[in-house]
């Protein structure tokens, strides 16, 4: 058997501790499967006294994580600290430059600096693996790198944030509103005290930028991801969606369009009975459309100790076996500069909700304004008693449009926001029913 793969782990939070547990429980199996042992040599964490439920006897503690990058007895650094800058970035760069393999679960780091880090890894002939950075325990990176190599990828549709999916699922099943369910998610540990990265769509966008690079051979391009969160989705929207035969999901979508790639994260109405509509709770899913394989859906737990640590071990096992590949499939020097397709050209049907003034002729005025903007209405639903008192009453109204483009809907939204018969700014949700069926 070959000499062990000697590793150092930076960060002993939920994921780091989970990796140590798997190494302890499955070490003999991994050694037999990989042809060499995976040996934990050193760890670095801020709190040396915390009880993590793991045995670290015989393992060296380093107060400075950068020591892992400098150590002669470490072949691989597992960066499980997190964050796009600071010590996480410094450690990964230093380890790669020192000729050490790196395994990371850090989607923010890769979304912002993935291409540059890939260049360093390839120059040094070492691995930069990150299965755990996207969709937790779902092996989507390995699937893209290996199983789908014979395919031209046409699109990716993903539910990539378990916090958002949990909140939307709870809103659907209980009828409660966003703010109320968010508090429960925070109490259960599904959402952070500051949930902005999750509910604002940023976490999903980090993951989408990585997947888009893998799918389309482009440099990682987080800066050009269109991002909308779920903060404005109400129980009313969830109920209307159900009536129309849809569920509301936060989707992360990357697809070729007009000579470029559109990357977008936003709430969407997804047809009931489709695979992504059925994904509930904290689960994630990724749907890939390839020209040879067709429509492929992978679903599983997107976070947590077990799934994420399992993904880290997958990367460790590949490196122990000697499988060293370019991080983003193509060599970094061959990754294309991203050509951003204009979001305005994207077409779909739309869900449009607003409050209309409760007076004779107001709906006629509103529909006339939409017709003048070249928006065709498939369905109008007016539900419930007027909101407000006396002559100030407002009626909740929902329009479902026929297919139109983003630019047109942006103009319609602005037009209605200024319309005398409309109160407030209308809510617009895209309807995604093409590639998902």
For the annotated catalytic residues, the residue numbers are 207
Structure tokens belonging to residue 398: 């929902």
Question: What is the rounded distance in angstroms from the CA atom of residue 433 to the CA atom of residue 268?
Answer: 9
What is the number of other CB atoms lying within 10 angstroms of the CB of residue 341?
18
Residue 44, SS3 per DSSP: strand
d(CA 25, CA 252): 35
Q: How far apart are CA 127 and CA 134, in angstroms?
A: 17
Tracing tokens 């739309």 back to the chain, one arrives at: 350
Sort 58 into a burial class: Cβ within 10 Å, 0-12 / 13-18 / 19+: exposed
Give the helix ranges, DSSP H, for 52-98: 66-70, 86-97
Q: For residue 83, what are its two tokens?
A: 């964050």
Q: Can you list the alpha helix ranges (DSSP code H) found in 277-429?
A: 305-320, 362-372, 406-417
104: enclosing H helix or E strand: strand 101-104
Distance of alpha carbon 80 from alpha carbon 243, whole angstroms: 44
Do the Cβ atoms of 339 and 261 come closer than 8 Å?
yes
Helix (H) or strand (E) holding 20: helix 14-34
Cα separation, 14 vs 85, in Å, equals: 20
Provide the β-strand partners of residue 399: 352, 380
Secondary structure letter of residue 262 according to DSSP? E
The DSSP H or E segment spanning 156 is strand 153-159
Q: How open is the CA angle 195-199-204, to the nearest 5 degrees?
A: 110
Within 8 A by CB and 6+ apart from 408, the residues are: 373, 374, 375
Name the one residue in this structure whose structure tokens are 């989970």. 18
Burial of 98 (0-12, 13-18, 19+ CB in 10 A): middle
Nearest residue to 211 (alpha-carbon basis) of 175, 164, 172, 157: 157
């Amino acid at each position: 058997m070959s000499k062990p793969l000697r590793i150092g782990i930076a960060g002993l939070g939920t994921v780091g501790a989970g990796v140590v547990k798997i190494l302890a429980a499955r070490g003999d199996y991994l050694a037999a499967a990989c042809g060499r042992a995976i040996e934990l040599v050193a760890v670095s964490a801020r709190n040396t006294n915390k009880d993590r439920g793991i045995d670290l006897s015989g393992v060296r503690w380093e107060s400075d994580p950068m020591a892992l990058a400098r150590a002669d007895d470490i072949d691989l650094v597992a960066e499980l600290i997190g964050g796009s800058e600071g010590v996480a970035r410094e450690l990964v760069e230093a380890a790669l430059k020192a000729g050490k393999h790196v395994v990371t679960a850090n989607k923010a780091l890769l979304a912002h600096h993935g291409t540059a880090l890939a260049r360093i890894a390839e120059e040094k002939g070492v691995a930069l693996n990150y299965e755990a950075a996207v969709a937790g325990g779902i092996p989507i990176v390995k699937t893209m790198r290996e199983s789908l190599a014979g395919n031209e990828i046409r699109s990716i549709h993903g539910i990539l944030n378990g916090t958002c999916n949990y909140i939307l699922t709870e809103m659907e099943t209980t009828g409660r509103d966003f703010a109320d369910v968010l508090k429960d998610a925070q109490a259960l540990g599904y959402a952070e005290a500051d949930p902005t990265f999750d509910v604002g769509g940023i976490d999903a966008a980090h993951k989408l930028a990585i997947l888009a690079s893998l799918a389309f051979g482009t440099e990682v391009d987080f800066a050009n991801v269109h991002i909308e969160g779920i903060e404005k989705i109400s129980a009313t929207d969830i109920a209307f969606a159900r009536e129309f035969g849809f569920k509301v999901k936060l989707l992360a979508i990357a697809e070729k369009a007009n000579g470029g790639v559109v990357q977008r994260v936003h709430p969407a109405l997804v047809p009931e009975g489709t695979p992504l509509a059925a994904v509930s709770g904290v689960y994630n899913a990724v749907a890939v459309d390839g020209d040879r394989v067709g429509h492929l859906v992978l679903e599983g737990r997107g976070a947590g100790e077990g799934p994420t640590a399992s993904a880290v071990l997958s990367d460790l096992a590949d490196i122990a076996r000697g499988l060293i590949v370019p991080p983003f499939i193509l060599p970094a020097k061959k990754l294309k500069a991203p050509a951003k397709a204009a979001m305005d050209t994207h077409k779909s049907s739309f869900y449009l909700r607003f409050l209309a003034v409760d007076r004779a002729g107001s709906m006629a005025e509103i529909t006339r304004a939409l017709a003048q903007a070249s928006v065709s209405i498939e369905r109008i639903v007016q539900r419930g008693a007027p909101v407000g008192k006396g002559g100030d009453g407002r009626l909740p109204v929902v329009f479902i449009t026929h297919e139109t483009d983003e630019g047109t809907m942006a103009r319609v939204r602005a037009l209605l926001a200024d319309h005398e018969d409309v109160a407030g700014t209308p809510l617009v949700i895209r309807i995604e029913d093409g590639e998902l069926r």
